[in-house]
Structure 1
Amino acid sequence: MAGNKMDFSPDSYLAKLYQNNQPELQFDAENRAGWKKWRQKLKAKIADLIGGPLEKTQITELVVIEKREFETYSRVKIAYQVKDYLKIPAYLLIPDRDQDKYPAVIIAHGHGNGNRETLGLNGAGEKLEEATCHNNLALDFVEAGYIVLVPELIGFGERRLKEDYQEDPALKEDPTANSCYRINSQLMLYGQSILRLRLWDIISALKVLENREDVIREQISCLGFSGGAPVAILASLFSEGIKAAVISGYTSYYQDSIMDRRHCLDNYLPGILNTAELPTIISSIAPKPLLIQAAENDHLFPVDSAQKAYREIEKVYKFLNVEDRIRMDIIENAEHSVSAAAAIKFLNNLDEIR
């Protein structure tokens, strides 16, 4: 009928789909044995959703590409071949201190020009005029006495698809250009995901650190920011070698973040909401020490959602009587970003809370 305005939008259908959804593996354990059973089921289901569990990781070759000495640390660009996988470039930062061994941190970077951004470099490897949302994270850690390893996650920087890389090798036209969508869309056709490959990136980085004599094995942590956070979550869940985790700029409910606006395809894992919401997945990191960080004015992962999610995650730590191992840090007056200060303080005090 002329003049009638009818609503054909799918909003109500999608809202009802979320409201009626009952994740299979919500936390409902009544004792520690039940928690172990729940956690094992969740790990198995997530492994299946990302495309299958990883085999044992083996580094078959490691080469030094370049090395630069600075006043308080060394910066080494390395590349290492992972058996049955790919060759991975990474930056290794080593403090220049009079000691034999150091704690270490693996950084899973977010979207941007790849691992360089955490070191204050642009896509061409030159010093940035001003810090990005990564806030020169790796430099703060090495200055604090940590060995830092920042692998380039697949889909970013030098690990873009060849066509994307050749169009703009130094990321001059678009510093955030990546191949996430093209890689993940192809992997999904095989029932796999880019998260599985990025998990392999982090587990391989862990193996590199474990093979070094100057690393304290009992003090290897993982920090994931933004798009690197889901990888850090999985690595902390699946690898015993990672002793503590920092999740920054990501903790929320899916409904409030990646379902609320257009995000990169690398955030989406088919079927995950049938299994668990994001806070439930993060809570499976317990009983490992965990710092949740959120920026006060983050429009991508709202702080209110992060705080609500934190309370849900905290319940599992309290259930296990290890509530002293979880903390939350709010970066005041900041948009989507990460800050090393609280993370360093948290990791420096691990001996007191283990």
Structure 2
Amino acid sequence: MAVNTMADHLLFATDHYMDNLHDQTAREFDYTRVLKSGDWTLWQHAFRNRLADLTGLTRMRELYRDVPLNPRTAEVESFPGYSREKLYISTEPGVEIPFYLLIPESGTKPYPLVLTPHGHGRRGKEVYVGNFADDGERRESLAGERDVALQAVAEGYAVIAMDVRGFWEMSREEEFGKSKVSSCDELQKRAFMYGRTLIGERVHDMGRLIDYASTRPEIDTSRIAITGNSGGGTVSFFAAALDERISVCVPSSYYCTFRGSLMHVPHCLCNFIPGVMELGEMYDISGLIAPRPVLFVNGVKDAIFPIEQTREAFAHTKMIYEAIERTRTDLCELYEGSGGHRYYKERVWPFIRHHFGH
């Protein structure tokens, strides 16, 4: 009796399937179409509006524009060199964003602001402010330089370190404290059913936090940077693309091509926007940040955002920046860390300092 083996079965031809999708899809906002006309303002305006629609952000802004922030303070603590407040604000009816606000003790007020969205760590914002659960979490986090909020306040900036929707205090009760890292999958499924996405919801949350920051006299909201690692890099990238109040963007361990990263290796469902490839590749979207300063930080050994595809994307981004702002060469950089999927602070703070003029 013959025994069936894998070789006897015709498996789904994923490579051919992906080639078909790629070849049959024309990107509506392919940046190369604007290189000759040079009408970047019109291109950015139309593209930003369409991307906001696709992520569900447009509808959220319309629905929740008049929802009061209702800030409430849960605690205030002092640490060497800075104070830390824990606060909550409303982002939509019945939904709050928990966050820490770090304010330096010295320096000249008002302070520039740094938003620090975290990545796929179960305890979210706590790691970024150095509120470690135990010595193991401390060692692992510091080895990956993930105390990003502490780095920022040490530079003399006000910092907002929030829980990103789906994590820690913004996770569902069913996942909180359980073995699951986040509520990303469950929240994304529900968002999809109503024409929304977690990326759009998270960008909306960043906007609400900027709204709150503008009520604080210690903060200079004309100078806002956003930086985070991995999933925090995703939020940083899309928030800067969709919210022009952000002055400087530094996404870490995210920038690549969609085809070479999200569609090449497994990723969390929260990364996906249905239909985005009909609008543009990741490097097309980077043109929505231009000519504001952007620093992409990636590890050369990052297995889920391969460096070769990151370099390919960056070459396209450089062309966009050179076309939009021909007189400056310091607005767009790629920094390559020597290791894998982690934060690399070495170039981050000099870049932000330079563009804040601080």
Q: TM-score w.r.t. structure 2 length?
A: 0.88
The residue type paired with residue 10 of structure 2 is D
- 2:212 — aligned with what? 208
The residue type paired with residue 254 of structure 1 is F
Once residues 57 and 134 of structure 1 are traced to their aligned partners in structure 2, the CA distance between those partners, rounded to angstroms, is 38
- 2:330 — aligned with what? 324
Once residues 57 and 84 of structure 2 are traced to their aligned partners in structure 1, the CA distance between those partners, rounded to angstroms, is 35
Q: Does residue 1:10 correspond to 2:37, yes or no?
A: no
The residue type paired with residue 324 of structure 1 is D
What does 1:115-264 correspond to in 2, within 5 Å?
A: 115-122=125-132, 128-132=137-141, 133=144, 135-165=146-176, 168=177, 174=179, 177-264=181-268
The residue type paired with residue 194 of structure 2 is Y
Once residues 111 and 57 of structure 1 are traced to their aligned partners in structure 2, the CA distance between those partners, rounded to angstroms, is 31
Q: 1:127/1:220 Cα in 2 relative to 1: closer, same or farther (>3 Å)?
A: farther
User: Any gaps of 5 or more consecutive residues in structure 1?
Assistant: none
Contact 1:283 1:313 in 2 (8 A): yes
Contact 2:286 2:317 in 1 (8 A): yes
Give the drift of 1:52. Answer: 4.5
SS in 2 for 1:254: coil
1:114 maps to which of 120, 124, 127: 124
Contact 1:25 1:38 in 2 (8 A): yes
The residue type paired with residue 336 of structure 2 is I
Once residues 340 and 68 of structure 1 are traced to their aligned partners in structure 2, the CA distance between those partners, rounded to angstroms, is 26
- 2:290 — aligned with what? 286
Q: 1:265/1:338 Cα in 2 relative to 1: closer, same or farther (>3 Å)?
A: same
2:277 maps to which of 273, 286, 291: 273
2:342 maps to which of 337, 340, 352: 337
1:254-298 alpha-carbon deviations (Å, 9 max, x no partner): 111111121110001111111111111122210111111111211
Give the drift of 1:324. Answer: 2.4
What does 1:61-72 correspond to in 2, within 5 Å?
A: 61-72=70-81
Contact 2:167 2:182 in 1 (8 A): yes
Once residues 323 and 350 of structure 2 are traced to their aligned partners in structure 1, the CA distance between those partners, rounded to angstroms, is 25
SS in 2 for 1:9: coil
The residue type paired with residue 336 of structure 1 is H
Once residues 30 and 233 of structure 2 are traced to their aligned partners in structure 1, the CA distance between those partners, rounded to angstroms, is 21
Q: TM-score w.r.t. structure 1 length?
A: 0.89
Q: CA RMSD in A?
A: 2.4
Give the drift of 1:6. Answer: 4.6
Q: 1:199/1:324 Cα in 2 relative to 1: closer, same or farther (>3 Å)?
A: same
Give the drift of 1:10. Answer: 2.8
SS in 2 for 1:162: coil
Q: Does residue 1:94 correspond to 2:97, yes or no?
A: no
SS in 2 for 1:199: helix
Contact 2:298 2:307 in 1 (8 A): yes
Q: Does residue 1:75 correspond to 2:84, yes or no?
A: yes
SS in 1 for 2:138: coil
